[in-house]
Amino acid sequence: MLHTSEIKAFLDAKDKKGLKDFLSDYGAEEIADLLNHLEEENLLLVFKAIDRDLAFTAYELLDINFQIALLDLLPNKLVTLIINDMSPDKRTALFQELDNEMLNKHLKLLTLSERSVALHLLGYPENSIGRLMTPDYIAVQANWTISDVLSYIRKYGENSETLNVIYIIDDKGILVDDIKVREILIADPHTRLEEIIDGRYTALSVLDDEELAINVFSKNNRVALPVIDKNGLLLGIVTMDDVLRLSKQEDTEDIQKLGGVEALEEPYMDVPIPLMIRKRAVWLIVLFFGELLTASAMAYFEDEIAKAVVLALFVPLIVSSGGNSGSQAATLIIRAMALGEITINDWWRVLKREIVSGFALGLILAIIGFIRIGMWNYFTNVYGIHWFGIAATVSFSLLGIVMWGTLMGSMLPIALKKLGADPATSSAPFVATLVDVTGLVIYFTFALLFLKGTLL
Amino acid sequence: MLHTSEIKAFLDAKDKKGLKDFLSDYGAEEIADLLNHLEEENLLLVFKAIDRDLAFTAYELLDINFQIALLDLLPNKLVTLIINDMSPDKRTALFQELDNEMLNKHLKLLTLSERSVALHLLGYPENSIGRLMTPDYIAVQANWTISDVLSYIRKYGENSETLNVIYIIDDKGILVDDIKVREILIADPHTRLEEIIDGRYTALSVLDDEELAINVFSKNNRVALPVIDKNGLLLGIVTMDDVLRLSKQEDTEDIQKLGGVEALEEPYMDVPIPLMIRKRAVWLIVLFFGELLTASAMAYFEDEIAKAVVLALFVPLIVSSGGNSGSQAATLIIRAMALGEITINDWWRVLKREIVSGFALGLILAIIGFIRIGMWNYFTNVYGIHWFGIAATVSFSLLGIVMWGTLMGSMLPIALKKLGADPATSSAPFVATLVDVTGLVIYFTFALLFLKGTLL
């Protein structure tokens, strides 16, 4: 573990040579970690003191926001070297976060060939697998021998993103098979590739959504997958480490949206407080306007409440029960959709399951509610002679509202997906708010039904 | 894509030979997918018709619950072959789900050497990295030449889980370095390993928590990491595909808990409805009992409500605003802890940030609430001459309750972690319920303060 205090000592002593020697003992991950923790004014000095190759590798490991900050901080000459050296997939991830002006400036710093690679990758739609891929891989032909392949790798393998899988293409560049490097390593050097390949491979399609890559990787035991166009032409590869990072990031976004927060783009502690407040305020205000409707709904039933104040007592219980059951259903369905377990075409099967679940859950709460009111009244007589009507109102409302919450919670994410929106937008708080207003209407309707002529 | 209908035709015709030929054209992932979709009565027949190696590879790709079901269904002889052939990490994952009787039965089916491996891995604590590792790796010594290494791999590489990274150990078995196979492939065959290794490696500790592996993998660009004991002895490796699967599974559990559901162990559609109801009912009932306290809190203020029915109108608004802000804070903190961005030691820094955020968010809602009541009253005079007192009550309550929700939501997960519990247990609905009762107390306290002598 590298500490900023040790670095500080070198900087204070202006001992550039000592700093350089000291830093040369560490690996790229430790260097990246160190850069993350340095004060801004020391960044440039330290970065320049790191061995160039190591510095470049460490740069690729930094958060994208930090990478952008460094682009501004470092001299143009160094930036040119860095971005020309970056692996194309990491560079695409960085470039797509730049604004137009920054992007143009940095594209100009690339060599002609790197620029063409970068523009090509940026040409694929955002969130498509094309943006995630790298063109650095090894492709060979089926009639080569193992020893041909090995010497080819020795010559050209340096720049390949992964050497764990070798791709076999025909003379038109169409993907024929992939083969794990282990198969090559354990095979006899005189064997021809065509004798050991089986023509079975899993490939990603360049225009498919990034999320699909996550699903394919978690089902297949691969460290890299080839990316092809609709004609089967091999365009690049996607590696597992990028997918793991993407997967964590997508899960984080989903979780934050489910909690009713706009997705944060940086770690919690790094988000400036004003931005944090804005990200949270947006939804909180939207939900608040939704909740203001409850005040209107309540006002509509003000006469009933004035006649039977006892009705007001159960309002928080009723609305939260609807909200909680809605949160549960929404969470389950959103996650199942994200994992590809269910699609919008399954809506009818989901609906049937949720009707059964919602009814059962509602019934359970209705029974508990009934017993609670009955027992309370037995011991304290707090609800008087009308306890049965009150208990019936609360119980039937609970049954209705839990079913309603469950159905809204499960169908809303599917409907959003169908409309092309992100299902996670129908966060737990969002569903709860929607259910609250209707919940009040259900509650007071049952009250009128059971208590008309007695309390009301 | 393999369809069950095609298989059905062979089965109906009792054409075993045809089925065998047909299936031989497919890969392990497709076979696993097919097995997943077959009716139970056809499983055994189809499984036996698959080429043995392929069947065994496909078996490893199945869900663990399905693997267990097959253990029961397949004849003992086949089970023996399968579990002896499984990679030790996958087998450990399967074995730890078996009950004691099943476990003993299956341990006895293993060969002596496989049994010793299995017992060894099962000896590490649940959720520890030891359970995740496999002892199938290639380890060589630093004084070997590249060509020594290549011929060693050719001879012993068959059983290695990954050949992407080769480990270098000293004569006592202490890990000295790891080297990507690419470095070996592009190096001159006569070079000695010690000339190209740099002594820098990242290793996992065998007793550490599995979640740590996910963090280390997503920060380091590796396909496998070595696992060492406290003396640095190399015990095994953990591969990226297992970590990706684990990561998805942990995120799913977190998301489900956040939504107020007990974590499901199977995909949504595969969970039998009664189990689904039970998983949801547990929390729904707990939360319901919590919410019953709101009825008691409301009853405590029944006289105030009777005097000023208008107070009841804002109850849903007040309680949900507290719940929503609590959900946001809980979600952000739980996720940041899961990603290792904050630890329990950061509680004071989190608290400071959340006090600021909570105050700002509360103020925003308070202002909106005040304006809403003021404007409504201006146009409709619905709140009469006491509108200012009502507006002040609602606004101050909103400020108080949003701050309270934010603080509870952020501190509760940290407190749970400190107590050794899973922070995700303090789900959004859980925090919302906790905040509801106190929210009512805050609201009616402000009401007494602002409306005493006028409405109350």
Domain check: are A431 and A328 in the same one?
yes
Q: Do B294 and A316 touch (CB under 8 A)?
A: yes
Select the residue of B281, B285, B429 nearest A327 (Cβ to Cβ). Answer: B429
Domain check: are B119 and B144 in the same one?
no
Looking at B224, B240, B256, which one is the last position of a domain? B240
Select the residue of B202, B312, B341 nearest A312 (Cβ to Cβ). Answer: B312
Euclidean distance between CA atoms B300 and A126, whole angstroms: 56
Q: Is residue A216 assigned to a domain?
A: yes
pLDDT at B426 over 70: no
The per-residue pLDDT string of chain A (456 residues; one tens digit each, 9 = 90 and over) reads 566 777 888 888 888 888 888 888 787 888 888 888 787 778 888 888 888 888 888 888 888 888 888 888 888 888 888 888 888 888 888 888 888 778 878 877 888 778 777 777 777 887 788 888 887 788 899 899 998 988 888 888 776 666 678 899 998 889 999 888 878 888 888 889 988 888 888 899 988 888 788 878 776 667 788 999 888 888 888 887 778 778 888 888 888 887 777 887 778 888 888 888 888 888 888 888 888 888 888 888 888 888 888 888 899 999 888 888 888 888 888 888 887 788 889 899 999 999 999 999 999 999 999 998 888 888 887 777 888 889 999 999 999 999 999 999 999 999 988 888 888 776 777 888 888 888 999 999 999 998 887 777
The pLDDT score that the predictor gives to residue A71 is 85
The pLDDT score that the predictor gives to residue A239 is 83
Q: Is residue A249 assigned to a domain?
A: no
Q: Is residue A315 assigned to a domain?
A: yes
Tokens representing residue B263 in the block: 């974590």
Select the residue of A317, A356, A372 nearest B273 (Cβ to Cβ). Answer: A356
A216-232 per-residue burial string, b: 16 or more CB within 10 A, e: under 16: bbbbebbbbbbbbeeee
Looking at A127, A154, A186, which one is the last position of a domain? A127
Euclidean distance between CA atoms B417 and B340, whole angstroms: 12
Q: Is residue A134 assigned to a domain?
A: no
Count of structural domains, chain B:
3
Domain check: are A316 and A365 in the same one?
yes
Is the ipTM above a cut-off of 0.85?
Answer: no
Domain check: are B27 and B107 in the same one?
yes
Q: Indicate which CATH number applies to the domain containing A405.
A: 1.10.357.20
Phi, psi dihedral angles at A87 (to 5 degrees): -70, 140
Domain check: are B301 and B422 in the same one?
yes
Q: Indicate which CATH number applies to the domain containing A45.
A: 1.25.60.10
Domain check: are A227 and A321 in the same one?
no
Domain check: are A331 and A215 in the same one?
no
Nearest-neighbour CA in chain B from A327: distance (Å): 6
Domain check: are A274 and A419 in the same one?
yes
Nearest-neighbour CA in chain B from A117: distance (Å): 22
Query: Which helix or strand (DSSP H or E) is residue A448 part of?
Result: helix A428-451
Q: Is residue B255 assigned to a domain?
A: no
Asked if A436 has any chain B CB less than 8 Å from its own CB, the reply is yes
Q: Is residue B260 assigned to a domain?
A: no
Looking at A70, A94, A127, which one is the last position of a domain? A127
Domain check: are A343 and A412 in the same one?
yes
Bridge-based pairing of strands A165-169 and A139-140 is parallel
Q: Given pLDDT bands bounded at 50, 70 and 90, which one contains residue B365?
A: very high
- CA distances (Å), origin A320, targets A323, A334, A405, A406, A437: 5, 21, 10, 13, 11
Q: Could you give the 3-state DSSP secondary structure of residue B167?
A: strand
Domain check: are A316 and A417 in the same one?
yes
Q: Is residue B409 assigned to a domain?
A: yes
Domain that holds residue A212: 139-243
Q: Which of residues 91-120 of B touch A (CB under 8 A)?
A: none
Asked if A285 has any chain B CB less than 8 Å from its own CB, the reply is yes
Q: Do A267 and B336 touch (CB under 8 A)?
A: yes
Domain check: are A341 and A436 in the same one?
yes
Q: Tell me the chain A residues in contact with residue B328 when contact means C-beta distances shorter than 8 Å.
A: 259-261, 280, 283-284, 429
Q: Indicate which CATH number applies to the domain containing B221.
A: 3.10.580.10
Burial of A241 (0-12, 13-18, 19+ CB in 10 A): buried
Residue B455 or B253, more confident:
B253
**The 3-state secondary structure of B62-106, one letter per residue:** CCHHHHHHHHHHCCHHHHHHHHHHCCHHHHHHHHCCCCHHHHHHH
Q: How many CB atoms lie within 10 A of CB A306?
A: 15
Domain check: are A146 and A120 in the same one?
no
Is 0.90 topped by the overall pTM?
A: no
